[in-house]
Chain A
């Protein structure tokens, strides 16, 4: 979980979620933590264009997107754009 979403998940750096695809996984995650839904998904349920999701360090946008399959032990990183520099 990126720093800006941690408050919404009780401060956790890593959380568990279930799902065979990224879509199922994010659905499960946003059901558990409704506060982060607007950060991750748009009204149509698609990934926001300022958020990248990496499954085992590979960007899903250039794979099968939200349909990318997720193995049981996969590490999924959710990463919104971050601008800070000062």
Chain B
């Protein structure tokens, strides 16, 4: 065989593949379920406009990324580029890789646009963001779209302590665009054995300020909203409304019950974590989807039966494991991927190196989540948690009073 010019070679490739017109492509894209649409142009071309729903995989990365992007080789695929030449080569390659139904858009994006079909400008990451989040965007379940979703997301951390520290660091690193942090404490030397947001030279500083310093240093993309106060019946709805997910890493029962009740009013899922000595626990309370904290524990234990970490101690790395699991669940909820820990409680025992999953169910008679949001009233959580459980159940006080965390 002799030497072929580009034109001759292109013509030969096109004779081996199927091309469709913009009109046919538009009809097929409108079908349910539609074909996979792949844009193989370079990034600067893609940024000038693309066909809605298309996956952007530049021609040079097609072979290496296609398995992750489209696992099922029987799915119909339409490939396009600017004018229909690169997509012809791409279609031939995918056919060689075993894709059974691959077509190339004749005339490419130019013809598509000229024929008046729908296109849009992509929202894209900046070059710096592309670099920072490249290990995310490579995962098909995240991609550039998922990363943009994370950047648009808001997560509220209740507490910048043992659990809040690793959770906040990983959420900031992941590029969650807004992190709210509520904590009224200042950094104490005894915190530093586990609260990795804080440092020796920031002892005495409000934890929200210390957290902001650490998180901004890690990722300047993230906006930090600071609440250097306690969560109370009065401020809770103002604080939590507008957040997509709450990560609960507080250290006391009044705040946990208050947060539970308020999250059911504001309809925000709570990723719950708790720790004690060598053991921890994680679950996701999704309002009215799964059980709430009160379905699981209708009443708190009396104080003498519930020692805190300050009293009982905690292994320093334990909140690292539990808080990181909380961050993982938060990211999954934000991206809408995977199976969240709803209706399941994951228990971690560090000494035994054992994870156990316990099943939880919604209580149809739950005093809180069986009600509609308008019917939920906040109680006096301090009294609820301070009094012996039996006395409280005998005389519940359903008044909205200050609950000091």
Q: What residues of chain A have their CB less than 8 Å away from a CB belonging to chain B? A: 2-4, 13, 38-39, 42-43, 48-52, 54, 57-59, 61-62, 77, 79-86
Contacts and interface: CB of A to CB of B under 8 A. Distances in A.
Q: Which A-B residue pairs are the 9 nearest by beta carbons?
A: A86-B161, A50-B301, A49-B299, A81-B297, A84-B309, A86-B251, A85-B249, A49-B298, A85-B251
Interface string B257-297: 00000000000000001111111010000000000000011
A49 to B, nearest CB: 4
B195 interface: yes
Given A3-B276, A3-B278, A4-B306, A83 B253 contact: yes
A43 B363 CA distance: 24
A50 B300 contact: yes
A84 B276 contact: yes
A67 B309 CA distance: 34
Nearest to A3: B277
B251 A13 contact: no
Interface residues of B, number: 50
Contacts of B252: 83
A51 B276 CA distance: 16
Interface in B54-79: none
Given A49-B393, A81-B300, A85-B250, A58 B359 contact: yes
A8 to B, nearest CB: 11
A57 B357 contact: yes
A59 B356 CA distance: 13
B360 interface: yes
Contacts of A79: 347, 358
Contacts of B108: none
Given A49-B393, A52-B296, A62-B361, A84 B352 contact: no
Describe B's contact surface by its main secondary structure. Answer: mixed
Given A81-B301, A86-B162, A57 B276 contact: no
B249 A57 contact: no
A62 B363 contact: yes
Contact of B389 (A13, A50, A57): A50
Contacts of B249: 85-86
A72 B256 CA distance: 37
B163 interface: yes
A81 B307 CA distance: 11
Given A50-B306, A59-B361, 17 more contacts: A39-B305, A49-B393, A50-B305, A80-B301, A81-B296, A82-B281, A83-B252, A83-B253, A83-B256, A84-B274, A85-B159, A85-B248, A85-B250, A85-B251, A86-B163, A86-B191, A86-B249
Contact of A77 (B248, B278, B299, B356): B356
A83 B306 contact: yes
Contact of B299 (A50, A58, A84): A50
B328 interface: no
Contacts of A2: 279
A52 B256 CA distance: 17
B224 to A, nearest CB: 19
A73 B297 CA distance: 27
10 contacts: A3-B278, A42-B390, A50-B306, A57-B358, A58-B358, A61-B363, A81-B300, A85-B162, A85-B250, A86-B162
B312 interface: yes
Contacts of B301: 39, 48, 50-51, 80-81
Interface in B151-184: 159, 161-164
A56 to B, nearest CB: 10
B159 A81 contact: no
A82 B351 CA distance: 18
B308 interface: yes
A35 B161 CA distance: 33
Nearest to B297: A81
B314 interface: yes
A39 B297 CA distance: 14
A3 B296 CA distance: 19
Nearest to B273: A85
Contact of A85 (B163, B296, B299, B351): B163
A64 to B, nearest CB: 14
Contacts of A59: 296, 358-361
A11 B294 CA distance: 30
A13 B277 CA distance: 13
A84 B314 contact: yes
A31 B248 CA distance: 37
